[in-house]
Amino acid sequence: MSDSSNQQWGGRFSEGVDAFVARFTASIDFDRRLYRHDIEGSVAHARMLQKSGILSQDELSAIVGGLEGILEDIENDKIDWSIELEDIHMNIEARLTDRIGDAGKKLHTGRSRNDQVATDIRLWLREEIDQLGAELKRLQTGLVDLAEREADTIMPGFTHLQTAQPVTFGHHLMAWYEMLVRDSERLQDCRKRVNVSPLGAAALAGTTYPIDREFTAKSLGFDRPTRNSLDSVSDRDFAIEFCSVGALIMTHLSRMSEELVLWTSAQFDFIDLPDRFCTGSSIMPQKKNPDVPELVRGKTGRVNGHLISLLTLMKSQPLAYNKDNQEDKEPLFDTVDTLKDCLRAFADMIPHIESKKDSMEEAARRGFSTATDLADYLVRQGMPFRNAHEVVGKAVAYGLAEKKDLSEMSLEELAVFSDTIKEDVFDVLTLQGSVAARDHIGGTAPNQVRLAVKAARGEES
């Protein structure tokens, strides 16, 4: 058994908590990272209590001074955290009372740990969202800069991982950019629902004290107070929504990672990653392994798992707060940490990718990537598309047999399949002609890539 019942709530109990149960139920090992936000919320709450006539000015000064001293001690690693005090909230409050006496015991007036922890998490997550948004923007900027440099670089575009049509590397990179635009929008939209204040909802029903929730909401930078006390303390939708956004971000990074891994292989040989983002083999001296994208790809499952954990955590909970909700923090914390690291790695790595232009262009020459261009050419000569499709299919079959790309065939060879094919067909059968012809919004033409880059920079400014 632990030495005594918890001084913060033990009046009802005749014996101390079992020592194992104390460890099992405590969250101080992981929720102590909320210390700044807990103190920030407590200061705002104390100022509101003084404004409402519940605390004197002297009591407020003592509380604020005591909390500032505790903050300094925590940041200088001078605090010994107590499992018996369960969590960050009780650890800070107990130390405050030890420092300033009975005034510290008045801090909890008009609130509960239920609304306190909900406030702390929202304050913490809001700050983390802003930092993640900055890393997302840094990655987007790196992609845009690289896309501009590679606007003319031709590579094969794929469907089913088979050569489909030629595209520009810059166009492909701007597709990645568009994924991140949606991620950024979702992150900011999620922030709106994070940024409401549950402080003052108390345990579940509100409080009988004359509190001013608008004051604390404004003091803490929230948009408004929450509207229902039951929902305020039990809601974890914002954490689930954030993890959903995080899972999508990681899914996009994983898709990028897969392509980076493929492109660095000897079989593709499209790009080179900087050595500092790769590792070697303990036995094969020639190896240069793309460990960063591989690990990002692997970490996606971790974040997806956290989303499922939180959904499962909340699926059967009755109103209002339940101890289950202690389990919300570790998945949420790890999601943020993982996202930060992965976005940082990509933001650092992407701008330094080196394209192997010759390999890319040579790959685009294989696989009859201009076949659709030939079909479009025939359509412009008046042939129905389905007929053009059949003609080009026969030409491709001939090319496979003769080991010739369409652009390598003579006019005489091509004319066998349709007498509408003339000398000007070679204007569309070249890779450069193919990509340049797609000069419309969203197209792969170098001109459109540069316009997309310009638009992206306008969005960021």
pLDDT of residue 17: 78
**281-288: average pLDDT:** 83
- With contact defined as beta carbons under 8 Å apart, do 278 and 291 qualify? yes
Q: What percent of the chain has pLDDT over 90?
A: 88
pLDDT of residue 325: 95
pLDDT of 384 above 90: yes
CA 261 to chain centre: 20
pLDDT of residue 15: 67
How long, in residues, is the chain? 461
**262-290: average pLDDT:** 91
In a domain, 161, yes or no: no
**CATH classification of the domain holding 219:** 1.20.200.10
pLDDT tens by residue, 88-115: 999 999 999 999 999 999 999 999 999 9
pLDDT tens by residue, 117-144: 999 999 999 999 999 999 999 999 999 9
pLDDT of 186 above 90: yes
pLDDT of 10 above 80: no
pLDDT of residue 93: 97
pLDDT of residue 6: 57
For the four alpha carbons of 19, 20, 22 and 26, in that order, the dihedral sign comes to positive
**406-424: average pLDDT:** 93
In a domain, 64, yes or no: yes
pLDDT tens by residue, 49-98: 999 999 999 999 999 999 999 999 999 999 999 999 999 999 999 999 99
pLDDT of residue 18: 84
pLDDT of 9 above 90: no
**220-237: average pLDDT:** 98
Are residues 100 and 249 both part of a single domain?
no
- With contact defined as beta carbons under 8 Å apart, do 38 and 88 qualify? yes
Question: The domain containing residue 346 runs over which residues?
Answer: 114-156+167-357
Are residues 68 and 135 both part of a single domain?
no
What is the chain's mean pLDDT, rounded? 94
HSE toward the beta carbon, residue 385, CA cutoff 13 A: 3
Are residues 311 and 266 both part of a single domain?
yes
Question: Under DSSP, is residue 354 helix (H, G, I), strand (E, B) or coil?
Answer: strand
**CATH classification of the domain holding 446:** 1.10.40.30
**432-461: average pLDDT:** 92
The model's pTM is: 0.92
Are residues 238 and 342 both part of a single domain?
yes
Neighbours of 436 (CB within 10 A): 19
Last residue of a domain, one of 323, 357, 391: 357
- With contact defined as beta carbons under 8 Å apart, do 92 and 79 qualify? no
pLDDT of residue 87: 96
In a domain, 36, yes or no: yes
**Active site residue ranges:** 160, 281
Are residues 179 and 311 both part of a single domain?
yes
pLDDT of residue 12: 64
**293-302: average pLDDT:** 98
pLDDT tens by residue, 362-378: 999 888 899 999 999 99
Are residues 48 and 118 both part of a single domain?
no
In a domain, 404, yes or no: yes
In a domain, 186, yes or no: yes
pLDDT of residue 4: 45
pLDDT of residue 280: 85
Last residue of a domain, one of 305, 328, 357: 357
Are residues 137 and 250 both part of a single domain?
yes
pLDDT of residue 2: 44
Q: Burial letters for 237-266: b for 16+ Cβ neighbours within 10 Å, e otherwise?
A: ebbbbbbbbbbbbbebbbebbebbbbbbee
pLDDT tens by residue, 190-199: 999 999 999 9
pLDDT of residue 460: 58
pLDDT of 264 above 60: yes
Taking the C-alpha atoms of residue 35 and residue 458, their distance in angstroms, rounded to an integer, is 39
pLDDT of residue 3: 47
Confidence of residue 8 (pLDDT cuts 50, 70, 90): low
- With contact defined as beta carbons under 8 Å apart, do 191 and 125 qualify? no
pLDDT of 5 above 70: no
Taking the C-alpha atoms of residue 305 and residue 300, their distance in angstroms, rounded to an integer, is 9
Last residue of a domain, one of 70, 91, 109: 109
In a domain, 2, yes or no: no
pLDDT of residue 1: 41
Question: What is the number of structural domains in the chain?
Answer: 3
**CATH classification of the domain holding 78:** 1.10.275.10
Are residues 43 and 82 both part of a single domain?
yes
pLDDT tens by residue, 21-44: 888 989 999 999 999 999 999 999
